[in-house]
């Protein structure tokens, strides 16, 4: 795969899917800015691992749901690196509950991180991209944003919102040579899905055509492709990666 850019910002990259993307992009010679919100130990250990393997990266703590914090972080990245070529809006949380029990806070928090967080990062990063007529953005949605899921109305709404956000931006930014796509994973083995018990996992696997959960590598491979020049005519797409859960 060929890459035209040099610097990538991945939100929520200290663990799980984001961490795997950081490893793979660093192996491609791209300098990765690893954003996280709380767990400095996890971010620092990933940084050490990537640097040990000869990759370039930095860790950066900021809360993507905070507009001013994100604005300052992005301007620091640009000041130091002179550019941001790739943005992966990956930071995401869940706060599952049935609608009758779901508090305003549970709904608001999930929308704030998953959807507004993507807006905050994109708003500030796209300014540089528009000026320099180059950029690639990938938003990490979920098949739940397409299918819905009982107990996840907040999460599904945030991911469905992210899909509309992706398509609108692809139309808005295409003429500036900026591509915007979304990836919609099914169930991937990370700390997020560790919360499922064995019975839930068994029943879930029964509904997946490939009869297994996905790996972080499965998703990172697709994101890597979308960021690369090999995907230079792909924009505004939502690509499911669910092992056939969503057919
Ligand atoms: N796992 C799945 O099955 C699955 C399926 C479909 C879609 N997805 C989506 O894929 C993305 C990654 O999921 P994952 O399973 O890898 O998640 P994860 O293992 O729970 O990791 C979440 C990451 O997001 C960071 N984060 C959380 N809140 C943040 C905030 N406000 N600001 C900045 N960073 C924040 C966390 O950092 P700290 O630890 O420091 O808080 C961590 O690095 C999410 O958008 C998720 O919705 C996951």
Name which residue sits closest to atom 47 of ligand 1, judged by CA.
92
Catalytic annotation present for 155:
yes
Q: Is the CB of 223 under 6 A from ligand 1?
A: no
Q: Is the CB of 55 under 6 A from ligand 1?
A: no
Which regions of the chain are under pLDDT 50? Answer: none
Tokens read off for 226 = 């979308």
3-state secondary structure at position 13: coil
Pocket test for ligand 1, best of 13, 16, 113, 149 (most atoms within 8 A of CB): 16
Q: Provide the phi-psi class of 18: left if phi over 0, else alpha when psi is between -120 and 50, else beta.
A: alpha
CATH H-level superfamily of 7-241? NAD(P)-binding Rossmann-like Domain (3.40.50.720)
Residue 194 confidence (pLDDT): 86
Q: Is the CB of 92 under 6 A from ligand 1?
A: yes
Under 8 Å between Cβ of 31 and 59: no
Which ligand 1 atom is nearest residue 112's CA? 31
Whether this prediction's pTM lies above 0.95 is answered by yes
Whole-angstrom distance, CA of residue 39 vs CA of residue 21: 18
Residue 75 confidence (pLDDT): 98
- Which residues lie below 8 Å from residue 80, measured CB to CB, with a gap of 6+? none
Residue 191 confidence (pLDDT): 87
Q: Is the CB of 118 under 6 A from ligand 1?
A: no
Cα angle 134, 24, 216 (rounded to 5 degrees) comes to 110
Residue 196 confidence (pLDDT): 83
């Amino acid at each position: 795969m060929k890459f035209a850019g040099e610097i990538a910002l991945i939100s929520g990259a200290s663990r799980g899917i984001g961490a795997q993307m950081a490893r793979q992009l660093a192996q491609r010679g791209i300098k990765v800015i690893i954003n996280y919100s709380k767990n400095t130990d996890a971010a620092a250990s990933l940084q050490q691992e990537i640097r040990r393997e000869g990759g370039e990266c930095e860790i950066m703590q900021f809360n993507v749901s905070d507009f001013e914090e994100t604005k300052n972080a992005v301007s620091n990245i640009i000041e130091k690196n002179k550019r941001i070529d790739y943005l992966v809006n990956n930071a995401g949380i869940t706060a599952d509950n049935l609608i009758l029990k779901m508090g305003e806070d549970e709904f608001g928090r999930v929308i704030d991180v998953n959807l507004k967080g993507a807006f905050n990062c994109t708003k500030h990063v796209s300014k540089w991209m528009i000026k320099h007529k180059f950029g690639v953005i990938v938003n990490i949605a979920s098949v739940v944003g397409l299918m819905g899921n009982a107990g996840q109305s907040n999460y599904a709404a945030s991911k469905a919102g992210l899909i509309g956000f992706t398509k609108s931006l692809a139309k808005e930014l295409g003429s500036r040579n900026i591509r915007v796509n979304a990836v919609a994973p099914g169930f991937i083995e990370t700390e997020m899905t560790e919360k499922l018990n064995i019975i839930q996992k068994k029943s879930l696997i029964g509904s997946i055509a490939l009869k297994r959960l996905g790996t972080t590598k499965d998703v990172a491979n697709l994101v890597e492709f979308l960021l690369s020049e090999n995907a230079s005519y792909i924009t505004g797409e939502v690509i499911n990666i669910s092992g056939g859960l969503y057919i």
